[in-house]
Homo-oligomer: A and B are copies of this chain.
Amino acid sequence: MAMNPKNKNIKDLFPRTLVNINGEIYPPEAANISVFDRGFLYGDSVYEVTKTIKGKCLFLEEHLDRLYNSAELIAMPVLFTRAEIKKEIEKTVKALDVDQAYVRFVVTRGITPIGLDVQTEQNNMVIVVKEYPDYPAWWYEKGVSVCISSFLRNDPKATDPNAKSGNYLNNVLALLDARKKEFFDAVMTNKDGFITEGTTNNIWMIKNGEILTPPLKAGLLKGITRDKILDIMKKEKFKGGEKNFTPAEFLEADEAFFTSSTKGIVPICQINEKILQNTPGPITKKLMTSYEKLLKA
């Protein structure tokens, strides 16, 4: 039979990458985890993604805060201390030694006898650090397209989007669908018909000078870049804040953008068939400049 060999091509797929598993560093082709890990069996894990700038993890403290918060939301004890996680991330970043790295750290509920009801006495921690090039300039200069997805975002009373967990199929399906239709990303609504978030980012619209982003109760992840933008808005006295909006209102935006820890502020130039003229707009540009300043500080 023509079974696929295990871990074929991993070296090619993940160049300039190191993986730390429970404190030991492996090359990508040797970075394996037990099939009995609950992360593999049930997506029973929490994670964070950030990047390094000059060897330093961007907003690492905020990401660690959020990791512990996600774990609490899914009732998962984390037996690693904050200092341990931090030390292992820094060790792995240092070992890879590249200008700019993508950093993903995952903590799982560990290995338990098969069954859903067993609490962990041991987590597994996986840290992936890989070199990554700058994102294409056109994302920032011209903007990207999004569609309003036919997939609803998971309901907070079922699988809370504010817990950044290994249950990511909702987003995977929305994005696969968007890409098939040749959109850059999908924006999901909730059961009440309000916009929630993109598949890996928070969504913003600007109308009549007001900058709006859906409130947490719409069912979304409390983005770290989102928080930074809300801070900038307060300090620099921009109008707007957290407010629900519908797809119809989103389509009437003067400007729109999304925010993400790795990608920063990315202007949106198209929503469904609607083209937003002159992207990025003047207010988006101001925010991009302010956020750049924050990163440099």
Contacts and interface: CB of A to CB of B under 8 A. Distances in A.
Interface stretch (A53-61, A158-166, A230-238): A158-166
Interface string A8-32: 1110011000010111100010011
B114 A44 contact: no
B173 A169 contact: no
Contacts of A277: none
A139 B142 CA distance: 63
Interface string A98-118: 000010101000111110110
A7 B111 CA distance: 8
A253 interface: no
Of the candidates A34, A106, A171, A199, the one having the most CB atoms from chain B within 10 angstroms of its own CB is A34
A122 interface: yes
A171 B200 CA distance: 23
Nearest to A125: B3
A27 to B, nearest CB: 12
Interface stretch (A148-156, A202-210, A221-229, A265-273): A148-156
A172 B116 contact: yes
A175 B112 contact: no
Of the candidates A119, A126, A176, the one having the most CB atoms from chain B within 10 angstroms of its own CB is A176
A35 interface: yes
Contacts of A21: 6, 35
B191 A13 contact: no
A130 interface: yes
A84 interface: yes
A165 B152 CA distance: 17
Give the bracket for the number of chain A residues in contact with chain B. Answer: 35 or more
A43 B3 contact: no
Contacts of A84: 1-3
Contact of A159 (B5, B112, B154, B191): B154
Contacts of A88: 1, 3
Contacts of A123: 4
Given A75-B176, A199-B116, A22 B5 contact: yes
Contacts of A114: 102, 104, 128, 130
A110 B13 CA distance: 12
A80 B1 CA distance: 10
A109 B9 CA distance: 15
Contacts of A40: 33, 37, 39-40, 166
A166 B172 CA distance: 13
Contacts of A82: none
Of the candidates A5, A31, A41, A158, the one having the most CB atoms from chain B within 10 angstroms of its own CB is A158
11 contacts: A1-B88, A3-B22, A6-B21, A37-B40, A40-B166, A42-B171, A74-B172, A114-B130, A159-B170, A165-B169, A167-B167
